[in-house]
Amino acid sequence: MASELDIARAATGLAMGLRDFCSWSDARLPYDGQDLPVTLLSLWGRGAWELQAELAQYAPLVVQLEAELWAVLQEGFPGWWHYEVVEALGWAIADWIVQHAGAAPSREWVSATLLQLAGQFFTRAPQADWPALRAVLLRHTTDPSTVLLPA
């Protein structure tokens, strides 16, 4: 079972990815600023708390997938999950919001994006672990094309 701290770390990573998008993406869109004509929050249009809640709702999904993947590995993770997957998911959600005029992505889109990021991440795992990792990823989707880890 996921601890509250694990869920908090995942929610924080999602928020950090969103902030990184604002600072480092080609959009160079500020997160907030009363004197600025367009910010991520102004595009979002629902307030800062609501934007953080939009991200945080996916933290349990992230932690559940992380735990399931960890359980089938023969060795540890091949990199930094929270930086390379969780923050990247926060970035992708921010990009979605910008590309879709402030609309939130669907849960299905977020789940598919998480599975794609996880699959890419685990291509660096030992190939002997790939079948078990792929099986975990496939349990979370009805669309096998979202799982980028080779069979």
Closest CA to 62 of 117, 19, 104, 125: 117
Residue 58 to residue 43: CA distance in whole angstroms: 21
Per-residue pLDDT at 28: 86
Contacts of 139 (CB under 8 A, 6+ apart): 68
Tell me how far apart the alpha carbons of residues 99 and 21 are, in angstroms, rounded to a whole number.
Answer: 13
Amino acid 118: pLDDT: 97
Residue 59 has pLDDT above 80, yes or no: yes
Closest by CA to 119, choosing from 89, 80, 95, 148, is 148
C-alpha triplet 121, 123, 126: angle, nearest 5°? 115
Amino acid 2: pLDDT: 78
Q: Could you give the CA distance from residue 133 to residue 81 in angstroms, rounded to a whole number? A: 14
Whether the Cβ atoms of residue 104 and residue 46 lie closer than 8 Å to each other: no
Tens digit of each residue's pLDDT (9 = 90 or more) over 63-91 = 999 999 999 998 889 999 999 999 999 99
